Amino acid sequence: MNILIGVIEQGLIYAIAALGIYITYKILDFPDLTADGSFVLGAAITSSLIINGVNPLICIFISGIFGFLAGITTGIIHVKFKVRDLLAGIITMMALYSINLRIVGKANVTLMNMNDIFNMLNVPVVMIMIVIVLIIKILLDLYFKTKSGYLLKAVGNNPNVVISLARNDGNIKILGLAIGNSLVAISGSLLCQQQGFFEITMGNGVMVMSLASVIIGLTIFKNIKYISDTTSVIIGNILYKGCVSLALLIGFEASDIKLITATLFLVVLITSRNKIFEIRERRKT
């Protein structure tokens, strides 16, 4: 039971990052590796602010803002300087590694006995996370129904349409990357509050893990009409976390997690291959 609750907690925290990756990868069609850096950025800012006595709730917002800026950076590198999407993300991720170390001052910091949103209220972590994830999900769903949201969907789908609407497709791409990375940073902020420590390596593989859960979620619920994409992504992430803990239960070591992640990701990619090809085809035309 404890393990199950742990899985759901972790799943919900990482689900926010997965929603960010859903925006960059699925909607914008942009494989954004910035995430590995902006996740830690959120955690770094949160831990240093909490140590300085800032309200943990405000920390989450500030993390989101800095994630937004990280996304803009990648966007500008890609759109204005015409650097390939993957490389643009890697460049920002690299830079963020050093920046994160600067922000915190060292590679790991413990936040034990500090205030965080989970011990401020006398409510189980799961409940708090459900509320936070629901708020973010609903806001995103609403956003995708606005004019700005439509334009964001259009730019990933077919930039030509956006250009023919006399809009700068590059700027909209930058906006999408910014929103995506601000979610990833918020996720990092929540994780460091929940586990009570900051580690410079805590973001390694966030992009791949989130992407795996995005694809799991969207593939499983592809044919079910009344489940929105955002819900699929959230459930996908919890399922993904479930698979990983199951592997640990069977007897794998914690050090095997990356191997399990890679294998799981590969399996997901292969089984949902048709879907991936569909995206590629569309990109060509």
Partner 1 sequence: MIRLENVSKTYNIGTNFEKNVLKEFNLSVKKNDFVSIVGPNGSGKTTLFNIICGSIDIDNGKIFLEDKEISKIKEFKRYKYIGRVHQNPSVGTCLNMTILENLALADNKMKHYNLTWGIDRKKIDEYKEKLKMLELGLEEHLNTKVQNLSGGQQQAISLIMATMNPIDILILDEHTAALDPKTAEIIMKLTDKIIKEQKITTLMITHNLKYAINYGNRLLVMKQGQIVLDRKGKEKNNTTYEELIDKFSCI
Q: How far is the CB of 182 from partner 1 (least distance, A)?
A: 16
User: 199: helix, coil or strand?
Assistant: strand
According to the 3-state scheme, what is the secondary structure of 86-139? Answer: HHHHHHHHHHHHHHHHHHHCCCEEECCCCCCHHHHCCCCHHHHHHHHHHHHHHH
Between 82 and 145, name the residue whose CB sits nearer to partner 1: 145
Q: How far is the CB of 172 from partner 1 (least distance, A)?
A: 8
Between 127 and 142, name the residue whose CB sits nearer to partner 1: 142
Distance between CA 7 and CA 14 in Å, rounded? 10
16 to 94, 210, 276: CA distances (angstroms): 22, 9, 23
Between 157 and 245, name the residue whose CB sits nearer to partner 1: 157
Between 27 and 40, name the residue whose CB sits nearer to partner 1: 27
Between 121 and 163, name the residue whose CB sits nearer to partner 1: 163
Dig out the tokens for 165 from the structure: 């609407």
Distance between CA 75 and CA 92 in Å, rounded? 10
Distance between CA 121 and CA 88 in Å, rounded? 40
Q: How far is the CB of 275 from partner 1 (least distance, A)?
A: 12
- Where does this chain bind partner 1 (CB under 8 A)? 143, 145-151, 153-154, 157-158, 160-169, 282, 285
| Residue 255 DSSP label | G
Between 108 and 168, name the residue whose CB sits nearer to partner 1: 168
Q: How far is the CB of 165 from partner 1 (least distance, A)?
A: 5
64 to 59, 132, 140, 270: CA distances (angstroms): 9, 13, 14, 33
Distance between CA 27 and CA 225 in Å, rounded? 18
Distance between CA 139 and CA 133 in Å, rounded? 10
Q: Nearest to residue 71, comparing CAs of 15, 29, 32, 40? A: 32
Q: How far is the CB of 166 from partner 1 (least distance, A)?
A: 4
Q: How far is the CB of 169 from partner 1 (least distance, A)?
A: 7
Question: Any long-range contacts for 141-144 (C-beta under 8 Å, 24+ apart)?
Answer: 141/228, 141/230
Between 83 and 167, name the residue whose CB sits nearer to partner 1: 167
Q: How far is the CB of 46 from partner 1 (least distance, A)?
A: 27
